[in-house]
């Protein structure tokens, strides 16, 4: 006899007896097999659902803002510092706007009725005095180039020195209408449409040039 | 994350759903006179009881013997048999053939037995041994002693191979291990038995 036959014979001693059968069936009958056959659907937890929605909105918002920014950049010119032509109401404000001290010219040959303070692109300060027909335009700008904005041809020119600063006077006939000078740091110009003599110019310039 | 398709479960109780749907419509349309809820519940219970009886008749001995080979005790083996049946009735797995059914039951019974060894205390009385001794069948008690002494991993494959007649591939499926492992455990189990039985018996 082989091992497996012997082993089979051993195992034959083990069988479900009628008592065992009724015990088991009785136990099973008492058990609750209430329908737990629910579909094993994985519920999307609420917190994850809302978190996902929030994330979607955040992405959409960022995208919208980026788009808006891109559109804005193409429509408006970039504003770097104070890059416009700004009119202000005083020399003090003008100084603040352009970033350097602007002293008002004194001894003008007329009493100004109205004064207009303008800052050009935070580089040039301009003060325009008017009284009827008479106009005086004072400009101060960064650098040493001619800031007068006046490139007319003048028959009369004169180079004078006021307080060690060279001043160029320009004019027609007997009077000069424009003075241009620089102290290397700033460039200045004063135009008087009325035109005055050189000696009168010196008086004015002496008050303006330190 | 694993997603279980709803259809996996619905396919299993498709007829159930159709039945329920039919009764729901009937009740909705024709009122409580058509209510079959109690009956359907009763029929479900009947079905469970019928299944239990059928499984016990067809596979009771097989499962009990496997459980006994692990636990060496009738009461423990009986509990494993019951637990195996309960699991079958609760899980309602889709098993197309009798072979499939048997393999499923043995798989579950094997796991339950091993869990019991690991976590529960085992009763010491070996009724089988007592019986064989009482019958004066030394040859059989000798064999049982030798098999009983094997480590679990050798004994389970020996039992399934020699007693249940499974091939190593099938044993691998039932026990959830590689076939190579099964073959090596079987070979080692045989060697140990050979030593224990001192070549007194021929090996098939």
Q: What percent of chain B has pLDDT over 90?
A: 59
**Residues of B with CB below 8 A from A8's CB?**
162-163
Residue A25 lies in a domain: yes
Residue A35 lies in a domain: yes
Q: How confident is the model at residue A150 (pLDDT cuts 50, 70, 90)?
A: confident
Q: Render B113-178 in DSSP notation, one character per residue.
A: HHHHHHHSPPP---HHHHHHHHTT-HHHHHHHHHHHHS-HHHHHHHIIIIIS---HHHHHHHHTS-
Domain match, A22 and A48 both: yes
Question: How many contacts (CB atoms, under 8 Å) link A and B?
Answer: 115
Q: Say what the pLDDT of residue B38 is.
A: 60
Cα–Cα distance between B3 and A25 in angstroms, integer?
36
CB contact under 8 A, B4 and A21: no
Sign (positive or negative) of CA dihedral A90, A92, A96, A102: positive
Total domains, chain B? 1
Residue B186 has pLDDT above 50, yes or no: yes
Q: pLDDT tens digits, residue range B123-143?
A: 778 999 999 999 999 889 999
Among A189, A149, A157, residue whose Cα is nearest residue A176: A157
Q: Say what the pLDDT of residue B144 is.
A: 94
Q: Say what the pLDDT of residue B32 is.
A: 52
Q: Say what the pLDDT of residue B10 is.
A: 52
Domain match, A29 and A112 both: no
Q: Say what the pLDDT of residue A33 is.
A: 79
Structure tokens at A69: 């920014």
Q: Say what the pLDDT of residue B6 is.
A: 53
Average pLDDT, chain A: 86
Residue A140 lies in a domain: yes
Residue A130 lies in a domain: yes
Residue A55 lies in a domain: yes
Q: How confident is the model at residue B25 (pLDDT cuts 50, 70, 90)?
A: confident
Among A19, A16, A26, A38, residue whose Cα is nearest residue B86: A26
**Residues of A with CB below 8 A from B92's CB?**
37
Average pLDDT, chain B: 85
Q: Which of A20-24, A146-150, A183-187, B106-110 has the lowest mean pLDDT?
A: A146-150
Question: Which residue in B has a C-alpha nearest to residue A3's C-alpha?
Answer: B203
Domain match, A98 and A140 both: yes
Q: Say what the pLDDT of residue A26 is.
A: 94
Residue B66 lies in a domain: yes
Q: How many CB atoms lie within 10 A of CB A206?
A: 13
Return the HEC string of A90-147.
CHHHHHHHHCCCCCCCCCCCCCCCEEEEEEECCCEEEEEEEECCEEEEEEEEECCCCC
Q: How confident is the model at residue B93 (pLDDT cuts 50, 70, 90)?
A: confident
* A121 or B88, higher pLDDT: B88
Domain match, A160 and A65 both: no
CB contact under 8 A, A42 and B65: no
Q: Which of A21, A23, A37 sits opposite B92 (nearest CB)?
A: A37
Q: pLDDT tens digits, residue range A2-34?
A: 777 889 999 999 999 999 999 999 999 988 876
CB contact under 8 A, B204 and A3: yes
Total domains, chain A? 2
Provide the CATH number for the domain around residue B173: 1.20.140.160
**Residues of B with CB below 8 A from A19's CB?**
none
Q: How confident is the model at residue A79 (pLDDT cuts 50, 70, 90)?
A: low
Q: Which of A45-54, A75-84, A196-205, B159-168 has the lowest mean pLDDT?
A: A75-84
Residue B141 lies in a domain: yes
Q: Render A17-47 in DSSP notation, one character per residue.
A: -HHHHHHHHHHHHTS---------PPP--HH
DSSP state of A2: B
Residue B101 lies in a domain: yes
Residue B146 lies in a domain: yes
Number of residues assigned to chain A: 210
Residue A58 lies in a domain: yes
Residue B40 CA from chain centroid, whole number = 29
Q: Say what the pLDDT of residue B190 is.
A: 92
Domain containing B124: what range? 15-197
Q: Say what the pLDDT of residue A143 is.
A: 86
Residue A6 lies in a domain: no
Residue A114 lies in a domain: yes
Domain containing A141: what range? 85-208
């Amino acid at each position: 006899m082989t091992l497996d036959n012997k082993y089979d014979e051993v195992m034959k001693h083990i069988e479900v007896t009628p008592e065992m059968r009724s015990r088991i069936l009785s136990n099973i009958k008492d058990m609750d097999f209430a329908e737990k056959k629910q579909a094993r659907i994985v519920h999307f937890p609420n917190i994850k659902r809302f978190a996902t929605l929030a994330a979607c909105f955040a992405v959409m918002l960022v995208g919208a803002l980026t788009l808006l920014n891109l559109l804005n950049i193409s429509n408006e010119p970039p504003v770097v510092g104070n890059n416009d032509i700004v009119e202000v109401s005083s020399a003090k404000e003008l100084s603040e706007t352009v970033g350097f001290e602007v002293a008002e010219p004194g001894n003008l040959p007329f009493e100004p009725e109205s004064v207009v303070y303008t800052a050009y692109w935070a580089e040039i300060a301009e003060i325009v005095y008017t009284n009827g027909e008479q106009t005086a335009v004072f400009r101060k700008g960064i650098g040493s180039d001619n800031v007068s904005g006046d490139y007319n041809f003048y028959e009369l020119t004169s180079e004078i020195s006021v307080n060690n600063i060279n001043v160029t006077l320009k004019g027609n006939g007997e009077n000069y209408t424009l003075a241009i000078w620089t102290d290397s740091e700033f460039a200045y110009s004063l135009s008087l449409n009325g035109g005055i003599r050189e000696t009168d110019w010196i008086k004015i310039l002496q008050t303006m040039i330190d | 994350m694993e997603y279980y398709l709803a259809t996996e479960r619905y396919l299993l109780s498709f007829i159930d759903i159709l039945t329920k749907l039919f009764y729901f419509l009937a009740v909705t349309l024709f009122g409580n006179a058509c209510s079959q809820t109690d009956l359907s519940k009763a029929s479900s219970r009947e079905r469970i009881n019928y299944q239990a009886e059928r499984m016990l008749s067809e596979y009771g001995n097989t499962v009990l013997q496997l459980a006994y080979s692990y636990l060496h005790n009738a009461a423990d083996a009986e509990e494993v048999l019951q637990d195996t049946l309960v699991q079958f009735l609760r899980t309602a797995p889709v098993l197309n053939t009798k072979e499939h059914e048997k393999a499923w039951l043995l798989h579950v019974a094997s796991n339950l037995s091993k869990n019991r060894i690991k976590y529960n205390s085992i009763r010491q009385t070996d009724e089988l041994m007592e019986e064989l001794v009482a019958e004066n069948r030394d040859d059989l008690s000798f064999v049982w002693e030798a098999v009983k002494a094997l480590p679990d991993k050798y004994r389970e494959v020996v039992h399934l191979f020699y007693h249940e007649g499974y091939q190593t591939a099938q044993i691998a499926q039932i026990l959830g291990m590689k076939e190579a492992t099964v073959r090596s455990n079987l070979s080692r189990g045989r060697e140990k038995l050979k030593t224990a039985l001192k070549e007194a018996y021929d090996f098939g």
